[in-house]
Chain A
Amino acid sequence: MPDESNELYKRNSIKPDYPDELGNGDSVEGAVTDIENSLESRFDVVVTNNGIRNGNRFVKTYSIEDAPDELFSDKITDGSEDRISAYINSGSRHIIRIMVPDNADARISMMVINSAHMPFQVLVECKARSRLSLFEYYCSAASDKHYVSPLHEFVLGNDSTAEFSMINNKAEGSSMVGFSKAYVSQGACLNANHIYDGSSFTKMKSEFSALGEKSRIDAREIVVGSADQKFDINTFIFNEKPNTYARLESGAVLDGRAFCMLKGYAKVAKLAKGATSRVEEHGILMSESAHIDALPDMAIDYSDGVSATHAAATAPIDKDALFYMMSRGIDSKESRKLFVSAFISKYLSGINNPFARELATSLLVAKADNGTFGELPEISMKDIWSANR
Chain B
Amino acid sequence: MKLEIDDVHIEIGGNKVVNGTNLDVSSGELHVIMGPNGCGKSSLAKGIMGHPDYKISSGSIKVDGKEIKDLPANERAKLGLFLQFQEPVEIEGLGILNFLNAARNSLNRDNKSVREFMNEVKERSSQLKLKEELVGRSLNSGFSGGEKKKVEVLQMQILKPGIAILDEPDSGLDVDAVRIVAENIKQFMKETGAGVILITHYSRILEYLEPDQIHIMKNGRIIMDGGTELVRKIEKEGYENGD
Contacts and interface: CB of A to CB of B under 8 A. Distances in A.
B93 A330 contact: no
B77 A327 contact: yes
Nearest to A346: B93
Given A318-B89, A328-B159, A334 B106 contact: yes
A318 B89 CA distance: 10
Given A325-B99, A330-B102, A339 B94 contact: yes
B91 interface: yes
Interface of B: 49-53, 72-74, 76-78, 82-83, 85, 88-89, 91-94, 98-99, 102-103, 106-107, 138-139, 155, 159
Contacts of A345: 93-94
B10 to A, nearest CB: 15
A321 interface: yes
B138 A342 contact: yes
Given A329-B103, A345-B93, A324 B74 contact: no
Contacts of A341: 93-94
A344 interface: yes
14 contacts: A323-B49, A325-B99, A326-B74, A327-B49, A327-B73, A327-B77, A329-B78, A329-B103, A330-B103, A331-B74, A338-B98, A338-B99, A342-B93, A342-B94
Contact of B89 (A320, A329, A343, A344): A320
A328 B77 contact: yes
Nearest to B87: A320
Interface in A314-356: 318-321, 323-332, 334-335, 338-339, 341-346, 349
Given A319-B53, A338-B94, A339-B94, A327 B82 contact: yes
Tell me the interface secondary structure of chain A in the complex: helix
A328 B93 contact: no
B155 A339 contact: no
Given A339-B94, A345-B93, A346-B92, A329 B107 contact: yes
A319 B52 contact: yes
Contacts of A335: 74
Contacts of A326: 50, 72-74, 77
A298 to B, nearest CB: 25
B53 to A, nearest CB: 7
Contacts of B77: 326-329
Given A342-B93, A346-B92, 16 more contacts: A318-B89, A319-B52, A323-B50, A324-B91, A326-B74, A327-B83, A329-B78, A329-B106, A329-B107, A338-B94, A338-B98, A338-B99, A339-B91, A341-B93, A342-B94, A349-B93
Closest 9 CB pairs of A and B: A342-B93, A342-B94, A328-B103, A329-B77, A326-B73, A345-B93, A329-B107, A329-B106, A326-B74
Contact of B74 (A321, A330, A343, A344): A330
A153 B51 CA distance: 51
A286 to B, nearest CB: 16
A323 B52 contact: yes
Interface in A45-90: none
A335 B88 CA distance: 16
A330 B106 CA distance: 6
Nearest to A339: B91
B144 to A, nearest CB: 18
Contacts of B51: 323
Contacts of B82: 327-328
B92 A342 contact: yes
Nearest to A343: B93
A343 B93 CA distance: 6
A350 B103 CA distance: 27
A344 B93 contact: yes
B89 to A, nearest CB: 5
Given A329-B159, A330-B74, A331-B74, A324 B93 contact: no
Nearest to A324: B89
Task: Count chain B CB atoms within 10 A of each CB in A319, A323, A330, A343 and give the residue with the most.
Answer: A323
B93 A331 contact: no
B155 A328 contact: yes
A323 B155 CA distance: 15
B85 A332 contact: no
A318 B88 CA distance: 13
A287 to B, nearest CB: 17
A330 B82 CA distance: 12
Contacts of A331: 72, 74, 106
B139 to A, nearest CB: 8
A34 to B, nearest CB: 32
B100 to A, nearest CB: 8
A197 B78 CA distance: 35
Nearest to A321: B89
A332 B159 contact: no
B6 to A, nearest CB: 22
Contact of B88 (A324, A329, A338): A324
Max count, chain B CB within 10 A of own CB: residue among A328, A335, A349: A328
